[in-house]
Chains A and B, each alone.
Chain A
């Protein structure tokens, strides 16, 4: 199991050091600093073995977090724990920075004592932790016996992510379907790989312990219903359902029920959390197509022409469009002409950055640039990194639709109809690249 946990600043100074196991000595702290942080090289493996001690490390802004062990631990668990640790810290004091960590070191030690026992991760849901570890020192001493046992039963309980007795005057929930669409396209316009990774993020402000059921246009569910010939009209369902390659759920979702009936039921945590993640690869609506044309004119000049085409309903508007066209290292000057938006050559980034605020569907826009090159005798050819693109569109490129989110709370007297529900779809570019 995890033998110790260290947090360093970018200089390698220790901010937090907590040792859980006897086999980890003080010298481990220094070994990591010397071998990894001070090496100042690109990290070539997130797991480093130094003198039979393994270091699992991640970096958040310029802070290093390292978990140390001498045993054959579950490596995936260690990394998951480190990410979780970051989430918990962020939930408590915001951004992970040297200043924030120094300002909250007592709190961090307390958290570390609670969420890691002898190197075994324990309940690390912020909802539960915040009931008894607070920034104003620990509550504890002024609680009644009932409160105390409520805390402990929540921390260890089956529904460790939600406390009892939550009340809202207005029961409300927000669903955000956030998708990032990824594309790798060949210069000839052939899709090399494309997938959507999506997240359903829920903000719930619901009283009591509500039972929720979430439904979407999952092909497997729709087909099943179609066969039964029940509610949906079959012609419609076949077309609008989507094939989900795989999905994963927040720990509140009853996985065995999903496995057997493919229904998504759960008691949600209070506030914001990620209900599910999913991935699709079929029938993706690619919001933009990039058509590059690069011509080398002699050894000191490049001509670049890039056309982007928007491919969605004309009534919808894409936003925050940015096209990044890489330029060679020996670029001496660039002249750009674009029909729409603004384009600039950024020497420090070796790229032409073309920004368009808004663009409606089924439109086309073009940029052309002349790149002057300094003559070099560098034999190595320019690697021609791909043209990448960023954007945001108000629909889900996977085609996912939320069909329902039903809320049942039997003990309190509000019904599904009384809950105010909001659904929003946002499609963003993930790694959206076209080779040139």
Chain B
């Protein structure tokens, strides 16, 4: 009875022996031999040489033997396609067997054999099995369609299997329904736009009925599928939620998590004042807590998901802090996750308990865990002001332990506490300085140097301390070098008399002996600042720093929304969108949360915004903690408001700081820096007046939205040589709807950069501050590439022009109309929503000139029905002028042909998302009406391309 003996054959000539045994007459011996083959296969030996012999054993009425042979076939058929054909007959015969178990086995196995010739034979049996009288066969056949689709998608479509599969959703057997749903969902993933899973209220109803009856796994398939549905209105959404909530009591955690996913997504549509909304919120907490009593691996999955849920809806678990307390025997991965969630849930109400726990954890064994616990104490201090004092004293206690990594971690967080509560806890500096020597990690060294520099005036021997670091300057990491440079400059500005030598020394180290461009450039800027205008230097370097945000490590809201749609899946475990770890087309679609009722239309949405200000998307500052800090030594910098006046055309913080600085800098020494920046004549004024976030150096500037390219263009308003047409600004948000804030704007594409030019007018009686902007998902993934730079408070009756660089890497969702963009603008008063439409020419990229040959081939390749015809009337331009004009908007003329007095222009356009649009424009001399034919694989864009033509040609 024991099978282990099959694993132990190590004789020579094994294959040969097996061959003989496989061909033996005795059934038992044959079976023994096949078992040996499978055992060898398992441990990774190549037994493909036995293929014909094994396949010969297939014709048997012994089911066990048959299964073993099938197992072998699935493994090796691909390597021996020709011989695999030998098996087809048996498969086809088995599909007709009176025993449903054998029919199902045959169709299941056949689908796993990835040989083209075999798949051809599979179609007929599969068709029969899909309509088999036995549900067991049907449920197996349903999955087989997905297998076949994976091998040959076209075949599945041609054979009409997709329709049969859709019919199975109405099958009487719940397991067949569940498998059909699973198969369809998988197939639909590789056809994002196919509308294959045509979910409508009827099918949803069927699914919900099957949900009550099928196996736990089937329930997961169905719930995961339901989560992709967009309910029509809040009532439908509520009724689905009502039917899904019972699943929260299922013993299977995956069923629970998938149900949570559906609820989290659909409750977004429910009006917040609805009683049911509150009930639902309350119902979600207990099952989530219960997940924590599952096995540790599942706890981990649950915790990663709870981390997302807590960020999205903190109210659900705010009273459940205790369940996240770490148990001594928890695996380390559970401990670390719990700690994360504890910090997120920490509030004034529970801070005492949390701190007591964290203090315990800081004495544990695991280094990572201890570090995280120490860091958590710091985060508590920043989050809950009342606790700051206790946190600091706890940290001091920990520093006294002298455990090296604890000390370093504590110093890093104390730096943040100083940032948050300036001039409050400086008494501890002396203790910190005692530990200077033990710091060997860059982050801790940098933090300590920052502290010394920041409080140089209170530390008697600050110069000595910093000097001691300077000795090994070139061995330090960049982070430390940059910090040291800044700290010494600060020290110099505070105590100029004694430290002149020191600052000379560090500046020359940074500028002359370093190869690091960031360091060198920062050195140069300081140098020039100091040599030209020490007063300005003081204002810049010692400027008041903006507050740091309370929450750290928050997931960016659009990603968070997407991850909420993936609750329970790997994406939610990795906290990454599926496209980051899945190859190919699968799962690359971005999922989104449905919008709350009414917010689809801008007119209504502003009302919604007013009724619930808390809905404002949290303004998350991207965590650039490690971005080396910036010139002004700010970790994260929402623009602060110390600038008395702002130039109307100033775009970005980076620019105006430079602009002003350059004027004076270039007077002295225009070789070094001037070369980089070129002439930027109109960049006026404003040095020292703009303590905004500044990229670490000029070299790194392109990382911040626009980069130098647009600096030129924006500063002087010179425009691009050929100048694409920019429509005049129109009013997007009426002052009436915006509580006094009026926004008008337009879009432009300048030098390859898309910009949204906005004019903000304050028509209210009070000052407006804290502006921020966000876009809803849109057809081409437009998203702000940087924060909205409104540097000053906007006083009543003041108007400001802002230009916001946009990227096209945001989340995508098809809008109606295609070029619709929904925008939310926030200020200190409220959040306002409006929608606007952008010209498609915004998305025409500079390298949109297609090769002639390619053009021809592509034109032919696009089906005729994708061609659209338009008339452009009243244009009095000749073809050359027109083509030049169009080129300015990145519509490129590839060829021109003149036939019988008619000019035919062939043109190409490429959109930012890679879609090509091809056009043929006919211009008849003397006729002011042009004829335009547009072909594109995505025919819905044609209309908008035509509008761009008209716009460009007429202006």
Q: Which residues of A contact B (CB under 8 A)?
A: 1, 13-17, 19-23, 26, 29, 42-47, 49, 52, 54, 56, 58, 69-77, 79-83, 99, 102-106, 109-110, 113, 117-118, 120-125, 132, 135, 137-138, 140-141, 143, 145, 148-149, 151-153, 155-158, 160, 184, 186, 192-193, 195, 197, 245-251, 253-256, 258-260, 274, 276-277, 279, 379-381, 383-386, 388, 431, 433, 435
In the complex the two chains form, what is the Cα distance from A74 to B174 in whole Å?
20
A16 is contacted by which of B42, B212, B221 (Cβ under 8 Å)?
B42
B71 on interface, CB distance cutoff 8 Å: yes
Contact of B327 with A184 in the complex, beta carbons under 8 Å: yes
Within 8 Å CB of A16, what residues of B? 42
The answer on a CB contact under 8 Å between A75 and B572 is yes
**Interface pair A73/B570, CB less than 8 Å apart:** yes
How close is B255's CB to chain A, nearest CB, in angstroms? 8
Chain B residues whose C-beta falls within 8 Å of the C-beta of A157 in the assembled complex: 135, 173, 175
Flag if A102 contacts B7 (CB, 8 Å).
Answer: yes
Give complex CA distance A151, B551 in Å.
Answer: 57
User: Once the chains bind, are A192 and B586 in contact (CB under 8 Å)?
Assistant: no
Return chain A residues, CB-CB under 8 Å to B325. 184, 192-193
Tell me the bound Cα distance from A104 to B162 in angstroms: 39
Q: Beyond the given A29-B44, A71-B582, A75-B568, could you list 8 further A-B residue pairs with CB under 8 A, ordered by the A residue number?
A: A1-B182, A71-B587, A72-B586, A102-B7, A103-B2, A106-B64, A117-B108, A256-B243
For residue B261, which residue of chain A has the nearest CB? A74
**Among residues 25 to 66 in chain B, which have CB atoms less than 8 Å away from a CB atom of chain A?**
35, 38-39, 42-44, 61-64
Question: Which of B94-102, B192-200, B811-819 forms part of the interface with chain A?
Answer: B94-102
Q: CB-nearest residue of chain B relative to A386?
A: B328
Task: Tell me the minimal C-beta distance from B392 to chain A in angstroms.
Answer: 21
Q: What is the bound-complex CA distance between A81 and B289, given in angstroms?
A: 21
B43 with A140: CB separation less than 8 A:
no
Across-interface contacts of B4 in A (CB, < 8 A): 99, 102-103, 105
Give chain B residues whose Cβ lies under 8 Å from the Cβ of A102: 2-4, 7
Q: Which residues of A contact B870 (CB under 8 A)?
A: none
Contact (Cβ within 8 A) A118 B146: yes
Q: Tell me if B136 and A156 are in contact (CB < 8 A).
A: yes
Question: How near does chain B come to A217, taking the closest CB pair, in angstroms?
Answer: 18
Contact B136 A155 (CB under 8 A): yes
> In the complex, what residues of B have CB within 8 A of residue A158's CB?
174, 213-214
- B contact residues around A71 at 8 Å (CB): 570, 582, 586-587
A73 x B569 contact (CB < 8 A): yes
On whether A77 and B251 interact (CB within 8 A), knowing A70-B582, A246-B286, A383-B364, the answer reads: no
- Whether B332 pairs with A72 at a CB distance below 8 angstroms is no
Q: Does B298 contact A (CB under 8 A)?
A: yes
From residue B926, how far is it (CB to closest CB) to chain A in Å?
60
For residue A245, give the distance in angstroms from its CB to the closest CB of chain B. 5
The residue that B179 contacts in the complex, of A99, A120, A384, with Cβ under 8 A, is A120
5 sampled A-B residue pairs with Cβ under 8 A: A54-B570, A138-B67, A145-B98, A383-B365, A433-B327
**Inter-subunit contact B333/A44 (CB<8 Å):** yes
Q: How far is the CB of A147 from chain B (nearest CB, A)?
A: 10
In the complex, whether B111 has a CB less than 8 A from a CB of chain A is yes
* Residue among B42, B173, B257 making CB contact with A156, cutoff 8 Å: B173
For B174, the chain A residues whose CB sits under 8 A away are 158
Which chain A residue has the least Cβ–Cβ distance from B586?
Answer: A71
Q: Are A49 and B574 in contact (CB under 8 A)?
A: yes
Q: State the main secondary structure of chain B at its contact with A.
A: helix
Decide yes or no whether B143 CB sits under 8 A from chain A.
yes
What are the residues of chain A within 8 A of B182 when measuring CB–CB?
1, 120
A125 contacts across to B, CB distance below 8 A: 215
B322 adjacent to chain A (CB < 8 Å): yes
Residues in chain A near residue B214, CB distance under 8 A: 158
Q: Does B842 contact A (CB under 8 A)?
A: no
Contact check, B249 vs A152: say whether CB atoms are below 8 A apart: no
0 or 1 for each of B202-216: is its CB under 8 Å from A? (1 = yes): 000000000011111
B300 CB–A CB distance under 8 Å:
yes
Contacts of B251 in A (CB 8 A): 248-251, 274, 276-277
**Shortest beta-carbon distance, B576 to chain A, in Å?**
10
A98 to chain B: closest CB distance in Å?
9
Q: List the A side residues contacting B287 at CB < 8 Å.
A: 246, 248
- The verdict on A192 contacting B135 (CB below 8 Å), with A49-B581, A246-B286 known, is no
Q: How far is the CA of A1 from the CA of B146 in the complex (A)?
A: 11
Chain B residues near A383 (CB-CB < 8 A): 363-365
Instruction: Point out the residues of chain A lying under 8 angstroms from B249, CB to CB.
Output: 246-249, 253, 255, 258-259
> Which positions in B face A, CB cutoff 8 Å?
1-4, 6-7, 35, 38-39, 42-44, 61-64, 67-68, 70-71, 75, 98-102, 104, 108, 111-112, 114, 134-137, 139-140, 143-144, 146-147, 150, 173-176, 179, 182, 186, 212-217, 220-221, 224, 243, 245-247, 249-254, 256-258, 286-287, 289-290, 293, 295-298, 300-302, 322-323, 325, 327-329, 331-333, 353, 356-357, 360, 363-365, 401-403, 566, 568-574, 578, 581-583, 586-587
B252 x A149 contact (CB < 8 A): no
- A43-B71 contact in complex given A72-B586, A123-B175, A248-B249, C-beta closer than 8 Å: no
Q: Which residues of B contact A137 (CB under 8 A)?
A: 62-64
Distance between A82 CB and nearest chain B CB, rounded to angstroms: 8
Which chain B residue shows the least CB distance to A153? B135
Contact between chains at A77 and B333 (CB < 8 Å): no
> Looking across the interface, which residue of chain A has its beta carbon closest to that of B256?
A248
Contact across chains for A118 and B111 when beta carbons are under 8 A apart: yes
Contact A22 B363 (CB under 8 A): no
Is there contact, CB below 8 Å, between B297 and A56? Answer: yes
B144 to chain A: which residues have CB within 8 Å?
A: 118
Residues of A with C-beta under 8 A to B363: 381, 383-384
Interfacial chain A residues near B38, Cβ < 8 Å? 105-106, 109
Complex-state Cα separation, A195 to B137, whole angstroms = 47
A61 to B39 Cα, complex, angstroms: 23
B35:A106 contact, CB within 8 angstroms = yes
Instruction: List the A residue with the shortest CB-CB distance to B182.
Output: A120
Q: Which of B173, B217, B243, B322 contacts A192 (CB 8 A)?
A: B322
Flag if A433 contacts B328 (CB, 8 Å): yes
Chain A residue nearest to B331 (CB atoms) is: A43
Set of chain B residues within 8 Å of A70, measured between Cβ atoms: 582-583
- Say whether A77 contacts B254, CB under 8 Å: yes
Known: A71-B586, A102-B3, A255-B250. A14 touches B44 (CB 8 A): yes
Residue contact B258 to A74, C-beta cutoff 8 Å: yes
Task: Give the Cβ gap from A44 to chain B, nearest Cβ, in Å.
Answer: 6
